[in-house]
Amino acid sequence: MLPRMRWAYVDGRYHREDRARVPVLDRGLLLGDGVFETVRVKNGAPEYFQDHFERLQASASLVRMRLPWTREELESVCAGVCRRSSLRDASVRITVTRGAYRGTLSDTGDPPRLIVVCADAEHLDPGLRSKGVSVSVASFPRVHAIDPRVKATAYLPAVLARLEADAQGCYESLFLDGRGRILELSTANFFVVRGGEVLTPPLRLGILAGVTRKTVLRLARTSGSAAREAVLRLEDLPSWDEAFLTSSVRGVMPVVRVGGSRVGSGRPGPTTRALMRAFAEETGRPLDR
């Protein structure tokens, strides 16, 4: 079967992805001066789009960038790249950069640039969800130079952590802060289940307020589990019964090993499986994707 032709949106127009171009003076490229969102599209419609839009607006405003697009315009571009690419189920990346670099860091008079690309969401290996994944622990602490509520395009620490994870045969990498407290993974939030409680690191430690994290906390509470923020440390791993990660692209994914140590039974546990089911029901995604 021929691979599908994908489409992208740059500077107000749709282009075939292989012909879409960003100018060499773009500030996102040269300076990492941009913000972004990754949104899951299901049956042609972006999921939890209000949450993603609000977070994009907050990111932009915290770095003093003004977004000239309405929620409806951005939602329609997300749906537009998927429709042109014949993708009903996709992950869509919305990037907004501060436009062209005019020679000084502070000359920011250019209008922002919107780039939207999509990828097939069906690439996820169903075995990952049924067996669970192993995660490594990043060899360096994560420190934020800017407000962690900003979902900024500068992902070099995350890239380095993922290269470490790959080298160790792991699926993801867990970040700790300088005091050994667990933060989140390179592109996902982290949860554990301990004594029937669903626990996740507090936002005040400087982690991304994940859209899926918020949804899963709500689903856990409505299903009768106690769910709350708690400071987590690797030393406490023997007391964890289960662990899982969350992200818009991957939903709820069981974590069965952390830093080489087995979590609980080493298999996806009952609370994780119940949350996977509840999330799949709410979003209409198949359970294994």
Ligand X SMILES: Cc1ncc(COP(=O)(O)O)c(C=O)c1O
95 binds ligand X (CB under 6 A): no
Contacts of 5 (CB under 8 A, 6+ apart): 16, 17, 85
Position 213, amino acid: R
Cβ 19 to ligand X, closest distance in Å? 27
> Under DSSP, is residue 33 helix (H, G, I), strand (E, B) or coil?
coil
Based on the shown chain and the rule CB under 6 A, indicate whether residue 213 belongs to the binding site for ligand X: yes
Query: Taking CA 197 as the corner, what is the angle to CA 193 and CA 203, rounded to the nearest 5 degrees?
Result: 80
- Applying CB under 6 A, among 247, 263, 264, 269 the residue interacting with ligand X is 247
Task: Give strand pairing partners of 185.
Answer: 174
Q: Which is nearer to ligand X, 161 or 256 (CB)?
A: 161
Distance CA(267)–CA(91), nearest Å, equals: 27
Residue 208 engages ligand X in binding (rule: CB under 6 A) = yes
Q: Alpha-carbon distance 240 to 265, whole Å?
A: 10
Which pairing describes strands 197-200 and 226-229: parallel, antiparallel, or unpaired?
Answer: parallel
The helix or strand, by DSSP H or E, that contains position 180, with its residue range, turns out to be: none
Using CA atoms, how far apart are residues 126 and 242, in angstroms rounded to an integer? 19
Compare residues 158 and 287 and give the one whose CB is closer to ligand X.
158
Q: Which of 79, 116, 165, 188 binds ligand X (CB under 6 A)?
A: 188
Rounded to a whole number of angstroms, the minimum distance from the CB of residue 174 to ligand X is 11
Shortest separation between residue 173's beta carbon and ligand X, angstroms: 11
What the block records as the tokens of 208 is: 């991304």
Q: Does 187 bind ligand X (CB under 6 A)?
A: yes
Please identify, among the stretches 63-71, 125-133, 184-192, 221-229, the one whose residues bind ligand X according to the rule CB under 6 A. 184-192
Whole-angstrom distance, CA of residue 97 vs CA of residue 31: 10
Enclosing H/E stretch for 159: helix 156-167
> Which residues are 212's β-sheet partners?
none
Choose one: 117-125, 203-211, 217-225, 254-262; the region binding ligand X (CB under 6 A): 203-211
Return the number of the residue (40 or 84) whose C-beta is nearest ligand X.
Answer: 40
* 91 near ligand X (CB under 6 A): no
Among 8, 184, 191, 199, binds ligand X (CB under 6 A): 184
- Site residue total, ligand X (CB under 6 A): 13
Near ligand X by CB under 6 A: residue from 248, 263, 279, 285: 248
Contacts of 18 (CB under 8 A, 6+ apart): none
Residues 67 and 57 sit within 8 Å (Cβ to Cβ): yes
**Residue 38 interacts with ligand X (CB under 6 A)?**
yes
* CA 77 to chain CA mean position, Å: 20
Q: If binding is defined by CB under 6 A, does position 212 make contact with ligand X?
A: yes
Residue from 112, 201, 210, 268 in contact with ligand X (CB under 6 A)? 210
Q: Which stretch binds ligand X (CB under 6 A): 71-79, 95-103, 163-171, 204-212?
A: 204-212
Smallest distance from the beta carbon of 265 to ligand X, in angstroms? 26
Burial of residue 144 (CB within 10 Å: 0-12, 13-18, 19+) is middle
What is the nearest approach in angstroms of ligand X to the Cβ of residue 182? 12
Minimal distance, residue 151 CB to ligand X, in Å: 7
The residues that touch ligand X, with contacts defined as CB under 6 A, are: 38, 184, 187-189, 208, 210-213, 246-248
